[in-house]
Structure 1
């Protein structure tokens, strides 16, 4: 029996709608932590209709609901007991140093650390159209009251960090918690930022540029380089001080070339050096065991304090 044309059209529209909103296979959250029976929760499907361009100079996009609540909570659990004072790259030497410019705490996860992390990394590659091997490990950041990151660039000024994978081309910043007030990501030199509507729910810091509020599950994608590979000075950005609440976020930096298989990595690992003047102090405090990803490193990704952690020949 042939269905009327109008009814066939309605059924076809319903089928397309269901396909577009179909939930991808469920993930087992918490299994990697050794707890009994993880939480079964669906990973949100990739849905380009949730992406909004908020600036073209620089290129900035916001994806509403990029992560599920369960995924956000899982990433926080992975990093909560390992976060340590965040570092910045020195513009001359390229070494990681402490600075009042950045007062958050952070730690790095392993790539493909568990099924949840793997699926998030795959989703980032699908959104950005950039290969997973070009990306650094996901970092977990915690900002408590008053903590911030002054405006800075994600591309490098030193040749040391550029040697591995080249400049950071794009950043995907995932929000793992909603901040009651403050903690916005601000772009103070974005063109036309003055026209962004703002009310008193935005902090004073956020009033001085194009600002994105940290909302749990949302993600921001912005490009630090122009399409021709030239650094974009308009990509200057910072994290406003947290005024009320606590901010958890997870940046993923993506380079112009492979970060995992850089030809310079072999040269880098031949020697036995520390990349920070604080390495001996951190090692004495037990950081080699508490924060091994940062201090020692992982396969193909050497850490910052290999000499002080005594994992290589001096």
Structure 2
């Protein structure tokens, strides 16, 4: 996608967002979605970095919403609408929310959310943005770290930060907060500064919910039906093999294997294909 088409894409998103009924009450923007009203307060957002573009929203989720997601209940329409309001990216461009659970010593190695192969870009294109929602506090460790971020050398960190967090610009997990960062530059090229990982949990446990958003509509059902008809059994993420090796098939079965008639993204690596 060239820069001209990319700007056109964002203009389309803006026009679509204008079609959503909204009203301003003080500093609170209420996005109307059907019969529900989803509060979005821009004063809660703080810019963390421009390289990568990263922002933190304090109190994005209520405590009840955090607990609600941990139970893996799929009734998350209000949260989806709030994410769309914040990112200005349509709901249909997003993948299903992924719930992650980290216990003592568990971590996630630094990686990119954009793709390195053309096959994964066929459905929805690159992942343009990631919203990482923290569902629990962590007593020690578990920070999200950006090793290549521009602020990695200037961020002030005391003894309350883990050794891992000091390897880059880091964000502490706070229950209810949401971290938004972009994997693509405004000209649609990939941003290597978006490299990120999850530091090991030192004390306590960490629950988080990840929302990946693509540049185009992400209709996974069409691709799954096409592959099923052809008798194919493939992974839908290039990281599946590594995740399976790290035990994610058992730790995160909903995403990896699937549940409730919805197939997971890594069925081949988890060896559950029929």
Question: What aligned pairs does 1:269-284 form with structure 2 within 5 A after superposition?
Answer: 269-275=228-234
Partner of 2:39: 45
Partner of 1:130: 89
Separation in structure 2 between the aligned mates of residue 198 and residue 296 of structure 1, nearest angstrom: 39
Separation in structure 1 between the aligned mates of residue 272 and residue 24 of structure 2, nearest angstrom: 57
Partner of 2:68: 74
Partner of 1:234: 193
Structure 1 unaligned runs (5+)? 1-15, 26-41, 79-108, 282-286
8 Å CA contact 1:148, 1:241 repeated in 2: yes
Partner of 1:91: none
Select which of 34, 47, 51 maps to 1:57.
Answer: 51
Against the structure 1 CA distance between its residues 238 and 308, is the aligned structure 2 distance closer, same or farther, given a 3 Å change threshold?
closer
Q: Could you list the per-position Cα deviations for residues 277-298 of structure 1 after superposition, in whole angstroms to 9, with x for gaps in the alignment?
A: 99xx9xxxxx8xx956643578
Tell me which of the two structures has the higher relative contact order, counting C-alpha pairs closer than 8 angstroms and 6 or more residues apart.
Answer: 2
8 Å CA contact 1:177, 1:216 repeated in 2: yes
Separation in structure 1 between the aligned mates of residue 140 and residue 178 of structure 2, nearest angstrom: 18
8 Å CA contact 2:129, 2:182 repeated in 1: yes
Against the structure 1 CA distance between its residues 139 and 227, is the aligned structure 2 distance closer, same or farther, given a 3 Å change threshold?
same
Shift >4 Å, 4+ stretches? 16-19, 21-25, 261-266, 290-294, 296-304, 306-310
8 Å CA contact 1:176, 1:216 repeated in 2: yes
8 Å CA contact 1:297, 1:303 repeated in 2: no
Q: Could you list the per-position Cα deviations for residues 238-279 of structure 1 after superposition, in whole angstroms to 9, with x for gaps in the alignment?
A: 10000011000001000111112787565434322322599x
Structure 2 unaligned runs (5+)? 1-22, 245-249
Separation in structure 2 between the aligned mates of residue 270 and residue 128 of structure 1, nearest angstrom: 35
TM (norm. structure 2) is 0.75
Partner of 2:267: 305
Select which of 102, 105, 109 maps to 1:150.
Answer: 109
8 Å CA contact 1:72, 1:176 repeated in 2: yes
Shift in Å, 1:173: 0.1
SS of equivalent to 2:150: coil
Check if 1:188 corresponds to 2:182: no
Pair member with larger Rg: 1
Select which of 139, 144, 168 maps to 1:209.
Answer: 168
TM (norm. structure 1) is 0.66
8 Å CA contact 2:138, 2:201 repeated in 1: yes
SS of equivalent to 1:45: strand
8 Å CA contact 2:102, 2:206 repeated in 1: yes
Select which of 160, 163, 177 maps to 2:136.
Answer: 177
Number of residue equivalences:
236
Against the structure 1 CA distance between its residues 169 and 298, is the aligned structure 2 distance closer, same or farther, given a 3 Å change threshold?
farther
